[in-house]
Structure 1
């Protein structure tokens, strides 16, 4: 906590610190004037002050004291430029001290030393400006006083030597104060700039820490948490109190922290399972410096594993896409040859072998087509799609291609429900989902239901695909979106994986909801209105 600060509403374009220095200079002037008054009030004869003219000294001291009070009280109210105000005050100081020096017998009284203090203070307060002018003014005043004394009282000429030496001291003090003031100005500017740079660096650091994907905490030796980011609260599943300790975030994490402090290592890795959510975290302790604080980094192992899986799948996708291009031409030749063999009149055994060749060639063709489709996930053109009309034409085409009755599919969608999606991608996603549903359903009327639910306030559009089959086996539910995982003898294992990838490419999600009793899948996307509102918000930013 800092103490009370003197504020000046009118700064005349100068830093507040300069006016604060002038404020202390006024306090010094008031103290000196008060000491002079008290000295002549209690020790009029023994103090040596006013030895030549006590009456003049008393009146000058009283006037100097009143002026000092005026300068001290009126500093906040005088709307005068800084240099003019300082020059006025220094002129009053030189005049008052010179007159009191005259009333006390000249420079031999020792009061001339007070002028050195005034010049040094003025040079520092004014930061070097006009310092030589003040020294020249003091020199003129002292020489005038000495000349007046010589003409009226017949003073010794040797006193002029002492006065000259004193005046040389005035200029030496002024020059020294100017040089020192220049250094003070440079240091003040450097400190101000470093303060700005430090404030900017702290602001950037706080923003970076707040936006980090990993959790971060700064913990003191007594386990008090000095700083943390919102991600730490989210990963640990807690809401921190006002002045938290580490145990208020996680008791297990506090135990790991104590173990780290006992080991006295520079850094250490550990694992932590969050109670409740079951999230596995990797905890990294790093010594923060001589303060004894420790940085704790919290990383979601699930996210790390997912990123590694995405990198692995991306590399696998590039490899399989290249392979698919290479095998597509010979595969087409095999399929064509198998068709030619079927047209010839062969024995039953040879015909069966031809069918086997043709069926497996078609399966490989589907696999190649799926792999190539996966490679085109990022090439899209999103547009608003009215789901009612789109589903109607899509289901007619699917029923014709699969040679099934149209009544197997039951459709329910609002006429105005609109999904922002790439049309080709949506066609592929629904084809994969509904082909699977058709494969496992009873093929009775309404066996496969397609429902569209739109939430206008949130901008969410949900498209549900539900069949009346046996549903997804509990042991397989965790792997149904994995590539090349299939429970069907003629499946490629890429249908659901490609469908989910295409949904993510369109800022949507595909998830398995459960069994009702058949499989229930849900696509969650955004409406056209939501996209327009977001674009307007970005434009306003």
Structure 2
């Protein structure tokens, strides 16, 4: 389209018509060389047809009264040369737009006015050809120049017709026709310019809206990519149209997509059930590594009826809720620990003083109950405060045979058990990258629990070290000969404040797992084991950077 478009960001034009709109258009107008090239190409085609009419005269060009002569050949040839030169300039030298456009329009006016004089005036039809060129130039040009072109065309038409009347015996009625055509020049120029302005405004509005839409699409795409939840767009047949990286990681999807029934059968079956009219918009499923996931379906207003599927990491949400709970509890206990421990100390001291009087067995039993519960309360407060007091792990390379040998002696001495109660299977040379105090606390909790649930006979508890060859990991297996963890409780043993022991706080295993994570390792419970079987994993080839646990960060 032969229009001029703005190429820079501009304000929306005022709603009121008139000088303000015209000023806005003049301020925002910039040349459109492509449209100008189309205009010059049209004129080159028109000049070529005129040359053919001169070279091959016949009945088809009698209406124009354009007979071959030296003058007509000269005019048409000059027009072709100027037009071809203008096309080359518009293509390779895009400067001085108004000058190039004005020059081409003036060439048209001069040549067509001369041909109109030669061909018999306005009745020859050249006036209408000039009208078309003027309309095209008005679409391309700027406001005031358009009126100048119309004025020049009017002047040329009137002068040509007047000279024809006085010099070539044209009919005087042709002056009236020239006047009407002149009025048409102005009307066409103004209407074409208004149309060009309207198209320019609409194109600029469409351009700015396109830029805004593209920016919004980019922002939305980045938001979806960075979401902690997975997002899928699937067809009603289960074909994955698009998914974000989190969905690919949670469900193990290939980058190219695929079908839900193939890559996530549970989710595909849930989608089919939902499309069939199920009122349940969400479903629980397992993802990569048996991660607990939740899927939620949402219909869209697209013409293809695509479905949005949101995948949530339920395990992460539970972990966040747990850490928030611990953070709140840590702040609470930190604020009241002093008020709790002072009365506990007073109660404990008072019970010790009363114990010295020795008034009988019943008296001793009551004092023992007071002492045991006082110690339990003090241990609960200490364990809760430990969640916020854990320091950053100072990881070092620890020889397992030496460390566990000393550890077993200390623990058995504290429990008054024979040395054969704990069996150590520690190959020589095995090391682990761990904070020494953290490892001692983890094993004290695990081995202490194992002793409590074991038979306390010979080799009732076994501590075995296994190296993962070629992977840089070492595993410490703590195994007891007790009844083990019931299947229905295995998902809860690492939950804070969960305990099956009457004197337990329910924080030992949770703190142990947090310490393992802080040292770049892990603590897991082996499923389907005959007795209790916990596994501590840690690096053995290179010490990892310390990892701050969420519990400590939250506290």
In the superposition, the TM-score normalised over structure 2's length comes to 0.72
Is 1:386 the counterpart of 2:396? The answer is yes
The one of 354, 359, 367 equivalent to 2:380 is 367
Contact 2:48 2:80 in 1 (8 A): yes
Counterpart in 2 of 1:60?
75
Q: Residue 96 of structure 1 aligns with which residue?
A: 111
Q: How does 1:28-177 map onto structure 2 within 5 Å? A: 28-40=42-54, 41-43=56-58, 47-51=62-66, 55-65=70-80, 67-68=82-83, 71-72=86-87, 75-126=90-141, 128=143, 130-150=145-165, 152-153=167-168, 155=170, 159-177=174-192
Alignment of 1:225-244 (within 5 A): 225-239=240-254, 241=256, 244=258
Contact 2:267 2:285 in 1 (8 A): no
Note if contact 1:53-1:103 (Cα within 8 Å) is conserved in structure 2: no
Cα separation, 2, equivalents of 1:253 and 1:383: 41
Unaligned ranges ≥5, structure 2: 1-27, 547-555
How far did 1:205 drift? 1.4
Note if 1:269 corresponds to 2:281: yes
Structure 1 partner of 2:34? 20
* Pair 1:177–1:530, CA change in 2 (3 A): farther
Q: 1:186 aligns with which of 193, 196, 201?
A: 201
Query: For 1:317 and 1:343, how far apart are their aligned partners in 2?
Result: 37
Rounded Cα–Cα distance in structure 2 between residues aligned with 1:252 and 1:383? 41
2:484 pairs, out of 457, 473, 478, with 473
**Once the 2 structures are TM-superposed, how far is the Cα of residue 261 of structure 1 from its aligned partner?**
4.3
Question: Retained in 2: the 8 A contact 1:282–1:300?
Answer: no
Q: Distance in 2 between matches of 1:282 and 1:227?
A: 16
Give, in angstroms, the shift of residue 473 of structure 1: 1.0
Cα shift at 1:184: 2.9
Give the secondary structure class of the aligned counterpart of 2:112. helix
Q: Does 1:346 align with 2:359?
A: yes
Kept in 1, the 8 Å contact 2:150–2:186? The answer is yes
Residue ranges of structure 1 left out of the alignment (5+ in a row): 1-13, 533-541
Q: How far apart, CA to CA, are the structure 2 residues paired with 1:286 and 1:302?
A: 26
Q: Which moved more, 1:338-347 or 1:169-178?
A: 169-178
Contact residue 386 and residue 415 of structure 1 kept, 8 A? no
Counterpart contact for 2:484–2:530, Cα < 8 Å: no
2:213 is the counterpart of 1:198: yes
Distance 2:540 2:206 in 1: 52
Aligned to 1:297: 310
SS at match of 2:32: helix
CA change 1:324–1:199 in 2 (3 A) is: same
CA distances 1:90-126 after superposition (whole Å, capped 9, x unpaired): 2332233222222211222221122222222122223
Tell me by how many angstroms 1:286 deviates.
1.8
How far residue 336 of structure 1 moved from its aligned partner, in angstroms, is 0.8
- Check 1:485–1:259 CA distance in 2 against 1; reply closer, same or farther (3 A cut): closer
Shift in CA distance, 206/213, structure 1 to aligned 2, threshold 3 Å: same
Q: What is the aligned residue count?
A: 508
| Matched-pair contact (CA < 8 Å) for 2:294–2:311 | yes
Deviation, 1:436, is 4.2
The higher relative CO (CA closer than 8 Å, separation ≥ 6) is in: 2
Taking the aligned partners of 1:192 and 1:48, their CA distance within structure 2 comes to 46
State the alpha-carbon separation in 1 of the partners of residues 524 and 193 from structure 2: 77
For the pair 1:511 / 2:524, whether they are aligned, the reply is yes
Tell me, yes or no, if the aligned pair for 1:94 and 1:141 is still in contact at 8 Å.
yes
**1:5 maps to what in 2?**
none
Aligned CA RMSD, in angstroms, stands at 4.8
**2:344 aligns with one of 309, 331, 355:** 331
Whether the 8 Å CA contact 1:101–1:109 is kept in 2: the answer is yes
The answer to whether the 8 Å contact 1:511/1:521 transfers is: yes
Question: 1:260, 1:268 within 8 Å by CA — same for their partners in 2?
Answer: yes
Residues 59-99 of structure 1 deviation map (CA, whole Å, 9 limit, x = unaligned): 43354345545555675334544333333332332233222
Residue of structure 2 equivalent to 1:7:
none
Alignment partners' CA distance in 2, 1:414 and 1:165:
109
Change over 3 Å in CA distance of 1:173–1:206 after alignment to 2: same
> Residue 15 and residue 428 in structure 1: after superposition, are their counterparts in 2 closer, same or farther (change >3 A)?
farther
TM-score w.r.t. length of structure 1: 0.74
CA deviations on 1:426-478 (whole Å, 9 max, x unpaired) are 77556544654676787999x7769798999x9x8x67544464378141543
C-alpha distance in 1, partners of 2:540/2:106?
78
8 A contact 2:57–2:67 mirrored in 1: no
Using the TM superposition, give the Cα deviation of residue 327 of structure 1 relative to its aligned residue in structure 2, in angstroms.
Answer: 3.6
1:204 Cα offset (Å): 1.6
Tell me the SS of whatever aligns to 2:62: coil
